[in-house]
Structure 1
């Protein structure tokens, strides 16, 4: 683990604050989507508010005939939208300058392809609401909050794992652009070369970057669960993997991380204590590839050490971990205790 230096710590704080301002400005301008115009009907001007709903259909609503009140409404809308646009452009420019500073200080961590995928999921409302980041990319969230860099041997990756929450009824999510495109369609917005492989839970781009959609085993086994985010043809179907129910039941862990260009992004992973316990359990499975077992163990040890030394408020004996099987919990306990021993 490498702690941040004073300059890096200062600019990490600046990045978080400026990213928060950017997101607020973006949310404000999003509130002004559509238009407000006068439309003549039978010799009378009516004020129409036009916007697009979630399924992408254009909706129009009459706010009434031209009057002092509707004139005021339109004027306030036009002024508010222009102010929101100016604030957004200013916040965007500040964030781009911050990105240059972050690159100069070596703060960029999240691989660019992974960062673009995560931003796309966030933009359409899936991040933390049906999908969370697990696997190696989750470590970028943990180190961002802890204020240090994990060793490259445990963070280097050319793939991303997305945990599909099988408990959620995603009908309210899988609509509009998501229903039409599916997860594979969202990936193609990031990189047009993404294609689903023969393994229908996986997509790959021309550079060999992999995206896996995973979910826990159904319990009971005969329980029907939705495997895809949408009914779009050729969409990814989540593969069931033993042990993921612990990650599914874990609390979310949110962080602002920084990608290779120095630009911030929101990451929503799972509780790092559960991550470490699960990784250790995976490393102990006889069927696991020996090379991957060694990496799993190294990641479990690294995250346990990070939590114990930098995030001590996340106690390993906390009530949030009661969802772990007793054997898994007890096997992981020495990882956290060893991190606190001198030397």
Structure 2
């Protein structure tokens, strides 16, 4: 029987290690710029000069007062800090793009183009640090990196993105909705399926939530997910945290559920009669593939007696069947 995981070559592994360092430098620069005012400008009104803070692309803003020596210093420090972060961003972005150019000929796992900007914005706003997980098919490149190789014969492309709300403390702001609108202001809530947002290109973002985390979503944040008991499984174990090359020429950070629980959740989904038959087939293939990869190449995620003993009644028979079929 052919191994499920084809290990990365030394050259592939080196490219992925470099990519993470370069991506982290890029996101640090993005965060540095985001912490600054959108822009500061001098503005002459009559015979006096004022310092203005511009807050958006439409040049809306407010006066910070007459241009005193103190405000002149503030303006200079702002320009210097902004230039520093812009320079760092430009250099890091070029290095990330350089890695992407070698990712294709090296046949590295690639994330689809559309989710890249969304995931980078989510990361820039630190939502991957305990607030949001990526779930569904887009997790697969992260699991490949975690396994140290390509997972063979697994469906890994999708035309949407699924996110899971995972915050343990209540959030008051529209944190996710602001991130989506920052990427594409055409995102609107699907009023018939309020757990889903869609942009003008019909690209969909769905938000899922476990009942134990539903109350932590801000009251005005969007989308508005329906609590699903099976989402509790995806909160268990240790999440995977990887940076993968993206088909838009950049990279994206993926924080995904523990691959053992992801795989068993997929095997469970694939047996739900109410689910789309085409999706059920994909679910089963992904569940088998990821569990195989865990068994072969992820010793950091043991399939031992302790793990088996933690399985709920819905999942224990699925794991037993998978193990028996190997």
- SS at 2:290 equivalent: helix
- SS at 2:133 equivalent: strand
The equivalent residue for 1:163 is 164
- Any unmatched runs of 5+ in structure 2? 44-48
- 1:61: how far off? 8.7
Tell me the TM-score normalized by structure 2: 0.75
Q: 1:89 to 1:315 in 2, by over 3 A?
A: same
The equivalent residue for 1:147 is 148
- 1:92: how far off? 1.9
Structure 1 contact 246–323 (Cα < 8 Å) conserved = no
Q: Which deviations, in whole Å up to 9, do the C-alpha atoms of 1:286-311 show, x marking residues without a partner?
A: 44444433322211111111112221
The within-5 A match list for 1:271-310 is 271-310=258-297
- SS at 1:313 equivalent: coil
Structure 2 contact 210–227 (Cα < 8 Å) conserved = yes
Query: Number of residue pairs matched?
Result: 318
Of 246, 251, 259 in structure 1, the residue corresponding to residue 246 of structure 2 is 259
- 1:168: how far off? 3.6
Q: Distance in 2 between matches of 1:195 and 1:77?
A: 37
The equivalent residue for 2:193 is 199
Q: 1:72 to 1:260 in 2, by over 3 A?
A: closer
Q: Distance in 2 between matches of 1:137 and 1:325?
A: 25
Structure 1 contact 187–194 (Cα < 8 Å) conserved = no
Q: Distance in 1 between matches of 2:73 and 2:306?
A: 55
Q: Which deviations, in whole Å up to 9, do the C-alpha atoms of 1:113-166 show, x marking residues without a partner?
A: 122222232233333443211111111211123232334642122222111237
The equivalent residue for 1:42 is none
Structure 1 contact 274–321 (Cα < 8 Å) conserved = no
Q: 1:29 to 1:228 in 2, by over 3 A?
A: closer
The within-5 A match list for 1:1-343 is 1-33=5-37, 79-107=80-108, 109-151=110-152, 153-165=154-166, 167-171=168-172, 173-174=173-174, 185=181, 188-189=184-185, 192=186, 196=190, 198-205=192-199, 208-217=202-211, 225-226=214-215, 229=218, 231=220, 235-317=222-304, 324-325=311-312, 328-329=315-316, 331-332=318-319, 335=322
- Any unmatched runs of 5+ in structure 1? 40-44, 220-224
- 1:169: how far off? 0.8
Structure 1 contact 277–300 (Cα < 8 Å) conserved = yes
Q: Distance in 1 between matches of 2:12 and 2:191?
A: 40
- 1:275: how far off? 0.7
